Amino acid sequence: MTGTSSDLTRADVAELSRLLGSGEVSAVEVTRAHLDRIAADDGRLGAYLHVEDDAALAAAAAVDQARATGAELGPLAGVPLALKDLVVTEGVPTTSGSKILEGWRPPYSATVATRLAEAGTVLLGKTNMDEFAMGSSTENSAYQVTRNPWDAERIPGGSSGGSSAAVAGHLAPWSIGTDTGGSIRQPAALTGLVGHKPTYGSVSRYGLIAFSSSLDQAGPMARTVLDAAVMHEVIGGHDPRDSTSIDTPLARLADAAREGAAGDLRGVRVGVVRELGGEGHAEGYEPGVLARTREAIEVLAGLGAEVTEVSCPSFDLALPAYYLIAPSEASSNLARYEGVRFGLRAGDDGSRDLDEVMAITREQGFGPEVKRRIILGTYALSSGYYEAYYGQAQKVRTLITRDFSAAFAGVDVLVSPTTPTVAFPIGTRVDDPISMYAADLCTLPASLAGLPAISVPSGLSEGLPVGLQVMAPALADDRCYRVAAALEAAQDAARGHRLLDELGTPAGAA
């Protein structure tokens, strides 16, 4: 590490923390390097909706001043980060990717934002997203399309695509995403990152602009498993302001990642989910994705894990169940955007009554996908249809939870591809909602059951990233980090060996 701007934006959080703590670089230098990278590259990627240039540099300078005076600082003081634009942040524009909240500056901050600020991190800005987190490609943002740093003609995943593009494109060392049906794990997989959806209730939802209240969870997106675990430890834990918050201490997540990186998985029982890309269930899955998944599983077995196949039949029903439950909850949550209390107010020229103003505001403020899901959800909850649709979907949700319980009676973790395909070209699915929704086939079961799940890079297919998903029982997030870190370390070692082979044996080496 030389301390150049390029080096600083390519460093992981653990390295940045070391450099900052030792005084080799200043927080201002690290922040400025990332802001310069954003200025140079974000016009191409479209990762950010708002950048906090002056405020970020001021916060970094305050960290440097505190460090110079001998103040006791945490290990993350001065490390920059990005927040998905549905994480409410006091005084910072927060839109949830929607015109209906354009220009809104919240008077308070979400718990996850507060905890990261208290750890001394420096906010670079707010990242683009599918409007109200409804999408799998970040093409549904009301403001701009975000592009994949691996191939700018392809999507970066969604709905946390701005966060994934920022981290994969070295415009931030890590970021907060949110996951309702896969919106952390899917974009992480498609951009070569680590993304973890925590156990539902283990990270506060206070201050997250709601999509589906029984599903939404904030979590880390990072370039290494350890970095993700460290961020998770900062943002996790009980919060009395969230009625769904679990009053149970977090497991030692960073320690689990370090243990996994040692490469010993003896005694760990890994279940391969047949319904997620296995025999008889491979339709829609790209061969390259399945090949990388098999290879990753072989690596886990080589590290001592006991691998077996398990069947979870109800997983085949996760997609239709999700697209009844989530839109139903969204139709209720989005009713607050009526053009009266905050946000956009359209058509109020004095000639219209309140109902007309509300209708015009929603027509102009909500995009097509949000309208589609509000209509779906309202219909599913309507009199005469509630039990036939929403009620039946909740019964399927129970069956999926039972399948997980049965599987975890015999294994410690479950694995699958994170996504059926690699990142697809921009524009190819925008007019085909069913095809777009299928991007979340593998991530939906864990979301519906409220269980922890992580995506970790597992190689490339046609030059594009593939992710392996690791799922664990409720509150066993540490298992996800241990297994993911073991795979990451083994793959890093394999890449190192291949590089040495390509370069040839150094002179004088044994």
Catalytic residue numbers? 84, 159, 183
Tell me the C-alpha to C-alpha distance, in Å, between residue 23 and each of 59, 63, 484: 17, 12, 31
Contact call for residues 20 and 77 (beta carbons, < 8 A): yes
d(CA 446, CA 480): 12
d(CA 116, CA 510): 48
d(CA 276, CA 274): 5
d(CA 253, CA 393): 33
For residues 178-205, b (16+ Cβ closer than 10 Å) or e, as one string?
bbbbbbbbbbbbbbbbbbbbbbbbbbbb
For residues 243-258, b (16+ Cβ closer than 10 Å) or e, as one string?
ebbbeeebbebbebbb
Q: Which amino acid is at 104?
A: W
Tell me the C-alpha to C-alpha distance, in Å, between residue 400 and each of 311, 427, 445, 447: 11, 32, 7, 10
Q: Which two tokens stand for residue 422?
A: 């690699």
Going by C-alpha positions, the residue among 288, 305, 321, 306 that lies closest to residue 458 is 288
The dihedrals phi and psi of 80, each to the nearest 5 degrees, come to -75, 160
d(CA 428, CA 309): 34
d(CA 352, CA 270): 62
- Secondary structure percentages of the chain, helix, strand, coil, to 5: 45, 15, 40
Q: Which two tokens stand for residue 181?
A: 């049906």
d(CA 80, CA 19): 13
Burial class (CB in 10 A: 0-12, 13-18, 19+), 451: buried
